């Protein structure tokens, strides 16, 4: 078959693997073609799951690995074990046998091994972790979400460019609009680094995005901009806060609609709208964080997601390759 996109899959990372990994691949293949999977992990376990899912042999090959990166392994411990499914999958992309690597395993290990194994894109000094984040009219790209606690103004400029390139790749019909996350929308607000980044980005022209200044946290989901740039410390806190708020709303809504006859009757009347609301908050739809800045895309699926979430992260893999993410970044990088 035509292998338009080849994905290196760490089949052993995350909860309930390799079962959910193979089920996710199966679910993806039921709706998509032109993708080939190089699956790394314990061959006997993987073959058993493939048999249960009845996946056609033309879509995959299995590369046996004796070892697995455990959730409690430190990144340095994991980096020393070169026969793990994670290390081998990352190296497969380094050796150009695959286009992109995906893992639901140990996040720290994935990023450290990736950075040790792959080269950085020229003129980018730090990678950034980006993820999808829903807004009122579509989807945001938010970065950095934890790869860098401290950043300088050049890092912010690089993150903006990489985030816009990712947005272009995933949503080619939308114009990318970038904003810096800050404590206010006025130019005088914020620390010196973000002010310097603001002034630099305000005066530099590029072909990837429109710079829209600052945005405050309470406007992230308004949809006025769609690429939001911050440092990893602030971004990670914002992400965890948003996730916690979404879980709280979903849980409390479910409780409220399960109490009393009137509540149950109201829930029946509003069933369609409630289903839409629930789907909108479903984290599986936005699964697939991307480590940007390396010579190839590295996709991190949430460790606790199910096969549906993993299948959605495979879609992110394909779009980053088909959308020529790396080429977009290297062509427009600020020197």
List the alpha helices (DSSP H) in the chain.
19-29, 43-53, 75-80, 85-94, 107-117, 153-170, 192-203, 232-256, 260-269, 271-280, 307-322, 325-332
Q: What is the pLDDT of residues 85-132, one digit of tens each?
A: 999 999 999 999 999 999 999 999 999 999 999 999 999 989 999 988
Question: Minimal CA–CA distance to 74: which of 112, 126, 117?
Answer: 112
Q: Is the pLDDT assigned to residue 287 strictly greater than 90?
A: no
Residue 236, pLDDT score? 84
Question: Mean pLDDT: which of 52-56, 241-245, 281-285 is highest?
Answer: 52-56
Per CATH, which fold does 1-124+293-335 belong to? Isopropylmalate Dehydrogenase (3.40.718)
Instruction: Examine residue 139 and say whether the peptide bond preceding it is cis (omega within 30 degrees of 0).
Output: no
pLDDT tens digit sequence for 172-192: 989 999 999 999 877 777 789
**CATH class for domain 125-287?**
alpha beta
Say whether pLDDT at 260 is over 70. no
CB 161 within 8 A of CB 329: yes
For residue 126, give the 3-state DSSP assignment: coil
Which strand (E) or helix (H) includes residue 60? strand 60-64
Residue 1 clears pLDDT 50, i.e. is over it: no
pLDDT of 283:
63
Do 1-124+293-335 and 125-287 come out as alike in CATH topology?
yes
> Where do the structural domains in the chain lie, given as residue ranges?
1-124+293-335, 125-287
3-state secondary structure of 331: helix
Of 174, 269, 270, 291, give the one whose Cα is nearest residue 227: 174
Burial 147-177 (b: 16+ CB within 10 A, else e): bbeebebbbbbbbbbbbbbbbbbbbeeeebb
């Amino acid at each position: 078959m035509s292998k338009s996109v080849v994905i290196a899959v760490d089949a052993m990372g995350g909860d309930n693997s390799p079962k959910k990994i193979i089920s996710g691949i199966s679910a993806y293949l039921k709706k998509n073609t032109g993708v080939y999977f190089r699956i790394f992990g314990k061959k006997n376990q993987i073959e058993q799951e493939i048999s249960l899912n009845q996946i056609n042999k033309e879509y995959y090959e299995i590369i046996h690995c004796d070892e697995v990166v455990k959730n409690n392994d430190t990144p340095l411990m994991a980096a020393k074990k070169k026969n793990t499914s994670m290390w081998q999958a990352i190296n497969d992309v380094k050796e150009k046998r695959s286009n992109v690597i995906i893992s639901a395993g140990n996040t720290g290990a994935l990023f450290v091994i990736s950075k040790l194994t792959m080269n950085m894109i020229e003129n980018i000094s730090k990678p950034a972790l980006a993820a999808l984040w829903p807004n009122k009219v579509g989807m945001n790209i938010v970065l950095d979400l934890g790869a860098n606690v401290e950043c300088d103004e050049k890092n912010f400029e690089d993150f903006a460019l990489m985030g816009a390139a990712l947005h272009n790749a995933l949503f080619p019909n939308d114009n990318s609009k970038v904003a810096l996350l800050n404590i206010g929308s006025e130019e005088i607000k914020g620390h010196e680094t973000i002010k310097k980044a603001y002034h630099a980005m305000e005066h530099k022209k590029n072909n990837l995005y429109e710079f829209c200044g600052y945005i405050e946290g309470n406007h992230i989901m308004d949809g006025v901009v769609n690429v939001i740039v911050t440092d990893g410390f602030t971004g990670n806190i914002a992400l965890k806060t948003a996730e916690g708020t979404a879980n709280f709303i979903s849980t409390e809504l479910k409780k409220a609609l399960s109490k009393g006859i009137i509540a149950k009757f109201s829930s029946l009347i509003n069933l369609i709208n409630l289903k839409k609301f629930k789907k909108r908050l479903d984290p599986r739809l936005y699964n697939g964080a991307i480590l940007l800045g390396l010579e190839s895309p590295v996709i991190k699926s949430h460790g606790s997601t199910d096969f549906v979430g993993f299948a959605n992260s495979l879609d992110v893999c394909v779009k980053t390759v088909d959308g020529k993410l790396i080429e977009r970044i290297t062509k427009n990088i600020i020197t």
